[in-house]
Amino acid sequence: MENTMPILLVPGLVSSPRIFAPVVPALWRFGPVMVANHIRDDNMGAIARRILAEAPPRFALAGHSMGGYIAFEIIRQAPERVARLALMNTQARPDTPEATVRRRGMIARAQGGEYRAVLDELLPGFVHSSRRNDAALRQLVYDMGDDVGPEAFVRQQTAVIGRVDSRPTLAWIRCPTLVLTGDEDNTIQNSLSVEIADGIHGAKLVILPNCGHLPQPEQPRATAEALVEWLRN
């Protein structure tokens, strides 16, 4: 395949490269695939700077959930390096006061030795209601939680709390953009994805049926197809 483009994937909160495993084989045909490390810093600016320092000169960028917040920061810092953008199950708005209170509670519990209980609390919001008893998805959340660890989880939550409003950023985005979400995302409502798509000129919105906050493992084929189309067009 000619004119390959490096593809940079950014996982979400308490997520690791495992989250993208179901779709990487489809993407790999279009260019080298890299998964960003987003667990080393506690603010969005520093996370984005470190990712940019390790990234190819120009790349297609896909961010999932918290990875979308990081993608917005990457766009602010280096728009010329992003050839294509995919924003998956994310939002452009800053944290609400209520969300910040919940996050601080989870931080305190993780620091107090209740990290696994926090993962259990997050799971119902991560998956479609029909999959809340799916043992494989539950194990995936546990495995990714182990990959990240409680200390990095605290750093991630601190960064998410401090993120800025990215709605003004939407008008700056000129590269081909995919906005993807599930029809029943109980963590970030899909109306917030609609808001992003409406704010980015020419963005394509895809709402996957029977899907929650984790489209890669919940609807891997449909997610891969949407990402392949994004890379082709």
Q: 29, 1 in Cβ contact below 8 A?
A: yes
CA angle 33, 122, 153 (to 5 degrees): 60
Global confidence as pTM: 0.96
Average pLDDT score over the chain: 96
Residue with tokens 């917005």: 72
The residue type of 16 is S
What per-residue confidence (pLDDT) applies to 3?
65
Beta sheet of 82-88, edge-to-edge order: 33-35, 7-10, 59-64, 82-88, 177-182, 204-208
What per-residue confidence (pLDDT) applies to 132?
86
What per-residue confidence (pLDDT) applies to 215?
97
The set of residues, in sequence order, having a beta carbon less than 8 Å from that of 71 and lying 6+ positions away, is 10, 61, 62, 63, 85, 87, 90
What per-residue confidence (pLDDT) applies to 164?
97
pLDDT digits (tens, 9 = 90+) for 208-218: 999 999 999 99
The residue type of 27 is L
The set of residues, in sequence order, having a beta carbon less than 8 Å from that of 138 and lying 6+ positions away, is 123
What per-residue confidence (pLDDT) applies to 1?
46
Q: 52, 78 in Cβ contact below 8 A?
A: yes
pLDDT digits (tens, 9 = 90+) for 85-136: 999 999 999 999 999 999 999 999 999 999 999 999 999 999 998 988 899 9
Domains and CATH numbers, the chain: 1-233 (3.40.50.1820)
The stretches in the chain having pLDDT less than 50 are 1
Minimal CA–CA distance to 66: which of 84, 51, 83? 51
Minimal CA–CA distance to 14: which of 180, 213, 231? 213
